Amino acid sequence: MMDRVRTSRRGFLAASAAVVATGRVIVSPRADQMYRLLVVVRAGQAGDVSPTAKLRTWGAWHEELRQLGYAEGQNLAVEVRAVGAAQVSTLAGEIVTMRPDAIFAPAQNIVALLKRAAVKVPIVTIAVDPVGSGLVTSLARPGGNITGLSLDAGLETIAKRIELLKTAAPGISRMAVLILKPYWNGRYDDIFRAAAGQLGVSVIGAPFTSPASEMQYRQVFAALSAAGADSLYVTPAPENFTHRRLIAELAVAARLPSLGFYPENAEAGGLLAYGPDVVDIFRRAVGYLDRILKGANPAEMPFQQPTKFDLVINLRTAKALGLGLPPGLLALADDVIE
C-alpha cells in the first residue's frame, strides 16, 4: 500500500468528544445467563465478522461487546451465518430451533427477506433506507421486531454526493452506479436518475450480484465503459467495501472519477468519499443489541440516523486523473490524502 500523508481537520474536536462520550454508565449483563446472538451476513462475508479479520467496523463491534461486559463462551454465544437470498427461507426455519435472543444483520436485503419470512426474533440492522425499503413503518417508532441504524440521513444525501463529484469533475455527464442488482431493479434507479438529473447528469446502472467476485467486477467495468460512463458512484454495499481497492484501481484505469461512501473508499484510491462514521455506527449497533438482550422492545427503539458526514479527498487520485480540484472543495474536506 502506498504511503500517504493524511491531514485531519477535526481531529482535536473528535478526540475531545470521545472523552465526553466515555462518561456513560454501563449496566453489566447478568453473570448467570448465557445470551444467544445470531449474526447474519451475506454469502462470502463470514470471515469479515472474525475479531482477527482486522476490519475496523467489526473490530469496533467486538470491542464494544467486551466494553459492555460480554465475553464469548462465558455469558455470550455468537453464531455467524453467511447466506444468499435463496438461503434465507431455510435460515428462517432454523431460527425457530436456534432460538437466539437477538439477531444482528447489517444487510438491508437480508433483513427484508427475514421479515418476509415472518421471523419474530428482535433484529438490529444497519440499512440505507429502512422506511422506503419497508423494514419499518417509521424511524421514530419502528413498530415491529426490527430496529437499528441508518447509513444515510435521508436519500437527499445521494444528490449531495453527486453534487460533490460534479464539483470535483465538472465535465462529467454520464454517471454509472455500482449497486446490487435487486436494488437497481427496484426503486433506486428512479431515485438516482432524479437526483442526478437536477445536476444535468444522466445515470446508467452498473449492477452486480452477491456474492461478488473480481471477475464480476471486471465484467461490470467493461460493460459500463462500453456504455460511455464518465464517472462512478460507489454504493455502500458490503461487497463494494470488501473490493474497494479493486474498484478504485479499475476506476482509475478507466479514467472514471469516483465517489464512495466510506473513508476507506478514498483511502483505497477512489477520488472522493462522503459518508458517516461507519465504525461508530457498528459500535452503536452493539448498544442496541445490549438493550434488547436486557429486555428492551425494538418496536419502541427509534431507528437512528447519522448527523455528521465526512468528506475525504484523495489528491493522488485527482492528479492521476488530471483533475485540478477547486480550492472551495478542498476547504470542505475533513481529510485530504496526499
* Share in percent of the chain as helix, strand, coil (round to 5): 45, 20, 35
Position 28 scores a pLDDT of 67
276 alpha-carbon distance from chain centroid: 9
The whole-angstrom separation of Cα 95 and Cα 69 is: 25
Rounded CA gap, 47 and 63, in Å?
Answer: 17
C-alpha cell at 156: 437527499
Order of strands across the sheet that contains 76-83: 76-83, 35-42, 102-105, 123-127, 146-150
Name the burial class of residue 52, with classes exposed (0-12), middle (13-18) and buried (19+) by CB atoms within 10 angstroms of its CB: exposed
Task: Give the model's pLDDT for residue 67.
Answer: 96
Alpha-carbon distance of 31 to 217, in angstroms, equals 47
- Say what the pTM is: 0.82
CA contacts within 13 A on the Cβ side of 181: 9
Q: Which residues of 290-329 are buried (b: 16+ CB within 10 A; e: fewer)?
A: bbbbeeeebeebebbebeebbbbbbbbbbeebebebeeee
307 with 293: CB under 8 angstroms?
no
Confidence (pLDDT) at 182: 81
Q: What is the pLDDT of residue 291?
A: 97
Residue in the structure block whose three cell numbers are 459500463: 224
Mean pLDDT of the chain: 89
Write the single-letter amino acid at 299.
A
Give the separation between CA 26 and CA 34, rounded to whole angstroms. Answer: 18
Cell numbers at residue 172, please?
Answer: 462529467
Domains belonging to the chain, first-starting first, are 22-153+277-300 (3.40.50.2300), 156-275+310-337 (3.40.50.2300)
pLDDT of residue 152: 80
Q: How far is CA 29 from the centre of its chain?
A: 28
Distance of CA 270 to the CA centre of its chain: 16
Are the C-beta atoms of residues 258 and 247 closer than 8 Å to each other? Answer: yes
pLDDT in tens, the chain (338 residues): 333 444 443 332 333 333 334 344 456 676 668 999 999 998 888 999 988 878 889 999 999 999 999 999 999 999 999 998 899 999 999 999 999 999 999 988 899 999 999 999 999 999 988 988 889 999 999 999 999 999 886 667 889 999 999 999 999 999 999 998 888 876 788 889 988 999 999 999 999 988 889 999 999 999 999 999 999 999 998 889 889 999 999 999 999 999 999 999 999 999 999 999 999 999 999 999 999 999 999 999 999 998 889 999 999 999 999 999 999 999 999 999 99
